[in-house]
A and B are shown apart, each in its own frame.
Chain A
């Protein structure tokens, strides 16, 4: 995986050097051309792992942006509603991802999603403690964590 990322960046860099004009536009074009070359190369070898993971990464970013917008709107609704009825609480969510990087990413995504921020991870890394602004439906929090775990696993390939 690391080798393929390095190769992709190298191909992009070669394009920039060949065009003899160092700017962002050329780098983007170079990365695109490098991607096409890598794609053909990998198709010949019968493996598409790099690109499915690249796509999973793009999907993860888009989902994150959308969730951030939703959560900000939810905060806005709570702040602007005249009756301030909130039922906060801390819920323990068991994790299925195991690597440190995966846990960090999931915890950060939880912080950006509607109604929940991650407070702590148990020492063995199996349980994520989430503070939620509305504890009425704990299953919804577990569901959203499961969804993020699936997205992150798509990127890391575990």
Chain B
């Protein structure tokens, strides 16, 4: 039972890590790529960590607090990191992809080109 749960969690984690990485290749600009890394990859890592928690819970019946702490810190740091990268990219004027429909932030700064 615990083996099935562990395998499922690892497979889910691997799937989301793969999807997040594919998103890096497929999406057109830095902002869209951050979508795929900031969400899918975070869930991939969390899922893998939970697999480790379940495994050691079943094998040695110890609750691995360390892994759970990593999950908590990941949830605190990952959105901040994503936000800071997106903000820095916009501040130094990295252009948005040509598919971009609107840019409300440009009106405020007035210096960032809307397409490549």
Residues on A facing B (Cβ under 8 Å): 24-25, 64, 68-69, 71-72, 75-76, 78-80, 84, 86-92, 107-109, 111-112, 115, 117-120, 122, 129, 131, 133, 135
Contact = CB atoms under 8 A, between A and B. Distances in A.
Nearest to A131: B31
B101 A129 contact: no
Given A88-B100, A112-B39, 20 more contacts: A24-B63, A72-B39, A78-B23, A79-B22, A79-B27, A79-B40, A86-B32, A88-B31, A88-B97, A88-B101, A108-B76, A111-B83, A112-B42, A112-B75, A112-B78, A115-B35, A117-B34, A118-B79, A129-B104, A135-B101
Contacts of B97: 88
A119 B27 CA distance: 17
B48 interface: no
B86 A131 contact: yes
A92 B105 contact: yes
Contacts of A79: 19, 22-23, 26-27, 36, 40
B49 interface: no
B43 interface: yes
Given A84-B26, A117-B38, A90 B63 contact: no
A67 B82 CA distance: 16
Given A24-B65, A119-B90, A133-B32, A86 B105 contact: no
A86 B18 CA distance: 20
A112 B78 CA distance: 9
A75 B99 contact: no
B9 to A, nearest CB: 13
B74 to A, nearest CB: 11
A36 to B, nearest CB: 23
B102 A90 contact: yes
